[in-house]
Amino acid sequence: MSRFAIDLEIAFRNLLQHTRRTLFLGGAIAAVTMLLILLQGLSTGVRETMIESATTLSSGHVNVGGFFKVTEGQAAPVVTDYQKVVDLVKREVPETAFVVHRGRGWAKVVSDTASEQLGVGGIDIKNEPAFKSVLKIVSGNIDDLAQPGTALIFDNQAEKLGVKVGDALTYSAPTTRGTNNTVDVRVVAIAKGMGLLSMWNSFVPIETLRALYQLRPDATGVVQIMLKPGEIDHVNPIAARLRSTLERAGYRVMDPVPQAFWMKFQSVSREDWTGQKLDVTTWEDEISFITWVLDALRWLTRVLITILMCIVGIGIMNTMWIAIRERTREIGTLRAIGMQRGSVLWMFLLESLMLGLFGTIVGAVAGALIGTSIDRAHLPVAQGLQFILMSDHLHLAVHAPNVVVAIVFITCVTGAAALYPSRRASRLEPVVAMSHFG
């Protein structure tokens, strides 16, 4: 048997000998690991929900949007001659999976009984495969959105407006001339809500949106770029590259500001240029008003885990002190029969590491199981929390890499906590140690 195996066996036996102590400490470590994994699962889950609803409803992974200013004081979210931009993107961004374009608008939507301010997405349903597959249609047929004068709304809006599939709605919005224009549409599909973003979004065929704003047929709102899988983590460099590509192609490009396009109206309409400017944003920019939730969750996870690890660390140190006192004579004997200081240190350290490893594995397994079952259970969340979690049910995403990181991290912390007591143990003089009582 190799040295390491013997060391492992000794550590394991020592742990077994002190069942109670091991169970308590291991339990605490397992609890903290579980908490870490659940909190991480929540962060990741919220992030995934955010990406999904953002990229379905209001953004691509990278967007080329922008503003057209007819006069200095007025900005319209319009990209003129969009086909050129689409061609350029297809040519210059090899990471692109596919490109779609959508119209952007903001209108008063009026039914027979009620009215509501809603965002209007002008969509070309035939060329939006992802959109069709992600939305859950409650009633109606999403493909009817190909016909002009139709609309897709979400269940919460349908309820508020008091309409069902087949009913008429009127969209009313100010055009670029400050006058108002209206368009009558028929509801052809009602989709299940997707959290916050779907509360104020509705969709009409892009031709209908153009009719509402009296826009030319070569105008759209935004060119949305969906990236190939795996490229989603590189949106920022891709956006930066695209920005300079567009500039080289002769476009005026706005400075990057991490905000959703509708938050930029105020600043853009106060700038003194007219004409077209393009704005390259990422999905994170477009939902920046909600990503604070992620930051807050991460911050909370960090603070909580730090405090808990301190407490657990103190517990481990305490246990080690007592264990060393109990085993002082044993240490003395081992040293007397030739064990090196390093080996003594290693012995104690290994014990703690092993405890940490067992604890974290148990905690990780429990955390992963609980996390997955919560996710499966589709637990509904309260209205107030829906706003924050961007979904009407709790979504926890527990991924293997995160679990491994949690295990390694917490095991290392337990090892670190044991370092000082172990060093003390290894410094004991054999003679003193052997004559120790108590």
| Residue 419 binds another protein, judged by CB under 8 A | no
Task: Considering only residues 62 through 81, tell me which ones interact with another protein, judged by CB under 8 A.
Answer: 68-74, 76, 78, 80
Smallest separation (angstroms) from another protein to the CB of 409: 16
Residues 6 or more apart whose Cβ sits within 8 Å of residue 8: 350, 354
| Residue 151 binds another protein, judged by CB under 8 A | no
Smallest separation (angstroms) from another protein to the CB of 191: 17
| Residue 117 binds another protein, judged by CB under 8 A | yes
Pick between residue 199 and residue 232 the one whose CB is nearest to another protein.
199
| Residue 184 binds another protein, judged by CB under 8 A | yes
| Residue 263 binds another protein, judged by CB under 8 A | no
| Residue 175 binds another protein, judged by CB under 8 A | yes
Judged by CB under 8 A, the residue of 244, 275, 302, 404 near another protein is 275
| Residue 57 binds another protein, judged by CB under 8 A | no
Pick between residue 70 and residue 366 the one whose CB is nearest to another protein.
70
Smallest separation (angstroms) from another protein to the CB of 1: 31
Task: Considering only residues 324 through 383, tell me which ones interact with another protein, judged by CB under 8 A.
Answer: none
| Residue 264 binds another protein, judged by CB under 8 A | no
What span, in angstroms and rounded, lies between the C-alpha atoms of 302 and 296?
10
What span, in angstroms and rounded, lies between the C-alpha atoms of 273 and 23?
70
- Which strand (E) or helix (H) includes residue 429? none
| Residue 215 binds another protein, judged by CB under 8 A | yes
Smallest separation (angstroms) from another protein to the CB of 219: 5
Smallest separation (angstroms) from another protein to the CB of 276: 7
| Residue 409 binds another protein, judged by CB under 8 A | no
| Residue 278 binds another protein, judged by CB under 8 A | no
Smallest separation (angstroms) from another protein to the CB of 146: 22
| Residue 321 binds another protein, judged by CB under 8 A | yes
Pull the structure tokens for residue 72: 């200095």
SS3 181: strand
Judged by CB under 8 A, the residue of 177, 192, 252, 341 near another protein is 177
Judged by CB under 8 A, the residue of 134, 200, 245, 343 near another protein is 200
**Stretch of 45-53, 126-134, 215-223, 335-343 contacting another protein, by CB under 8 A:** 215-223
**Among 83, 156, 171, residue whose Cα is nearest residue 121:** 171
Smallest separation (angstroms) from another protein to the CB of 270: 5
Smallest separation (angstroms) from another protein to the CB of 116: 6
Smallest separation (angstroms) from another protein to the CB of 4: 29
Smallest separation (angstroms) from another protein to the CB of 386: 9
Pull the structure tokens for residue 49: 């929900």
| Residue 227 binds another protein, judged by CB under 8 A | no
DSSP string, 244-256: HHHHHTT--BPPP
Our CA dihedral for 391, 394, 400, 406, rounded to 10 degrees, sits at 110
Report CA-CA distances (Å) from 248 to 237, 256, 407: 17, 16, 48
Pull the structure tokens for residue 279: 């704005």
Triad 391, 395, 401: Cα angle to 5°: 140
Task: Considering only residues 3 through 32, tell me which ones interact with another protein, judged by CB under 8 A.
Answer: 20-21, 24-25, 27-28, 31-32
Q: Within a 13 Å sphere around the CA of 299, how many CA atoms are in the beta-carbon half?
A: 6
Pull the structure tokens for residue 310: 């301190």
Pick between residue 168 and residue 294 the one whose CB is nearest to another protein.
168
Residue 236's CB is within 10 A of a number of other CB atoms, namely 14
Q: What is the DSSP letter of 290?
A: H
Judged by CB under 8 A, the residue of 116, 284, 286, 392 near another protein is 116
What span, in angstroms and rounded, lies between the C-alpha atoms of 271 and 140?
44
What span, in angstroms and rounded, lies between the C-alpha atoms of 40 and 360?
15
Strands 115-123 and 62-71, by their bridges, are unpaired
| Residue 432 binds another protein, judged by CB under 8 A | no
Pick between residue 32 and residue 89 the one whose CB is nearest to another protein.
32
Q: Are 427 and 345 in contact (CB under 8 A)?
A: no
Task: Considering only residues 153 through 172, tell me which ones interact with another protein, judged by CB under 8 A.
Answer: 160, 168, 170, 172
- Which strand (E) or helix (H) includes residue 198? helix 196-199
Smallest separation (angstroms) from another protein to the CB of 197: 11
Smallest separation (angstroms) from another protein to the CB of 430: 19
Q: Are 170 and 192 in contact (CB under 8 A)?
A: no
Residue 312's CB is within 10 A of a number of other CB atoms, namely 23
**Among 35, 11, 30, residue whose Cα is nearest residue 320:** 11
Pick between residue 6 and residue 432 the one whose CB is nearest to another protein.
432
Pull the structure tokens for residue 418: 């044991």
